[in-house]
Amino acid sequence: MYTAQGKLQSSTPQPGIEHYLPLVRRTAHRMIGRLPANVEVDDLIQAGVMGLMEALERYEQGHGAQFETFALQRVRGAMLDELRGTDWVPRSVRKHQRDIADAVQKLEQKLHRAPADSEIAQHMGVTLAEYHDMLVDVRGAQLVYTDDYEAGEDDSHYLDRHTTPDAKADPAAQLSDRRFREALVGAIEDLPQREQYVMSMYYEHDMNLKEIAAVLGVTESRVCQLHSQAVARLRSRLKAY
């Protein structure tokens, strides 16, 4: 049996959209934990459902990838596109993010080491408590997964959709990408040990703030601060890229 598009229809029908709605909800609730309070989980779910519908339309069996894997990429991509198309980060948060990164960069150049919280706060002219509040505010100001840069078969690459193609720049871009990755690894290795632990548990082991807090013996708020500070250090180190 062939479809209207002339493609072979599988004898085993694909489950309907209702079957995969829990996947959309899980993805949205996992993502919302990385975002500011002004982002609504329902908006993410709505965008994710649109991505799921697209996945159901475009998926072809026999291409190797399981549908759940294909759908997850589409759902998460739709949510990220929704976030990127909306100014969901308050202007004050963006300013705090820039100010913290600039302060870290200047202090590292002056001290030739990673500055402590108190030193960064003093440089910015704020109290330590105010600086810690800023770190909590900027949490989630950047939301990019490495998976977003991967493309499945017959799928447009993330960079293809968001940059202007330039064939002549490809070799240089590839070299730049390799150098960036090497610089990123080096910058992570230079983080204070506790911040390295936070980044590893959060991104490599997919642990949430509560789980990381239990391992380190600190509060969730402190984990959030450590994460934001680590991101600020990385941003200052990799500013040239």
What is the dihedral sign for C-alpha 51, 148, 41, 83? negative
Helix, strand, or coil (residue 2) = strand
pLDDT digits (tens, 9 = 90+) for 172-212: 554 456 777 788 888 888 899 999 999 888 878 878 888 99
B/e letters for 198-211, b = 16+ CB within 10 Å, e = fewer, are bbebbeeeebebee
C-beta separation of 35 from 79 below 8 A: no
For residues 3-14, average pLDDT: 49
- The three-class DSSP label of residue 142 is coil
**H or E, element range at 135:** helix 128-137
* Mean pLDDT to the nearest integer, 14-35: 81
CATH topology identical between 17-88 and 91-143+190-237: no
Report yes or no: 141 and 226 within 8 Å, Cβ to Cβ.
no
Binned at pLDDT 50, 70 and 90, residue 238 comes out as confident
pLDDT for res 79: 87
- Tell me what pLDDT residue 196 has: 92
* DSSP assignments along 51-76, one per residue: HHHHHHHH--TTSSS-HHHHHHHHHH
The answer to whether 158 and 77 are in contact (CB under 8 A) is yes
CA-wise closest residue to 152 among 65, 42, 58, 217: 65
Of 57-61, 74-78, 84-88, 144-148, the poorest mean pLDDT is in 144-148
pTM, two decimal places: 0.54
Q: How confident is the model at residue 41 (pLDDT cuts 50, 70, 90)?
A: confident
pLDDT of residue 5: 45
Q: Checking phi first, is residue 194 left (phi over 0); if not, alpha (psi -120 to 50) or beta?
A: alpha
Place of tokens 């490495």: 146
pLDDT of residue 140: 57
State yes or no: pLDDT of 124 exceeds 90: yes
CATH topology of domain 17-88: Rna Polymerase Sigma Factor; Chain: A (1.10.1740)
Instruction: Specify the pLDDT at position 219.
Output: 92
Are 134 and 94 in contact, with CB atoms under 8 Å apart?
A: no
Q: Calculate the average pLDDT of the chain.
A: 76
> CA 217, CA 160: separation in Å to the nearest integer?
43
Q: How far apart are CA 154 and CA 104, in angstroms?
A: 43
Round to the nearest angstrom and report the end-to-end CA distance of the chain.
Answer: 52
Q: What is the pLDDT of residue 115?
A: 92
4 has pLDDT over 60: no
Written out in words, the top-level CATH class of the domain with range 91-143+190-237 is: mainly alpha
pLDDT, greater one: 2 or 39 = 39
- Rg of the Cα trace of the chain? 21
pLDDT at position 65: 61
Interatomic CA distance for residues 217 and 210, integer angstroms: 10
pLDDT at 159 (0 to 100): 39
- Could you tell me the two tokens for 135? 């770190």
Q: What is the pLDDT of residue 61?
A: 62
For the chain, what are the domain ranges? 17-88, 91-143+190-237
pLDDT bracket for residue 89 (50, 70, 90): low
Q: What is the pLDDT of residue 118?
A: 93
pLDDT at position 241, please?
Answer: 57
Reduce the DSSP state of residue 198 to 3 states and report it: helix
Banded model confidence at residue 98, pLDDT cuts 50, 70, 90: confident
pLDDT computed for residue 106 by the predictor: 92
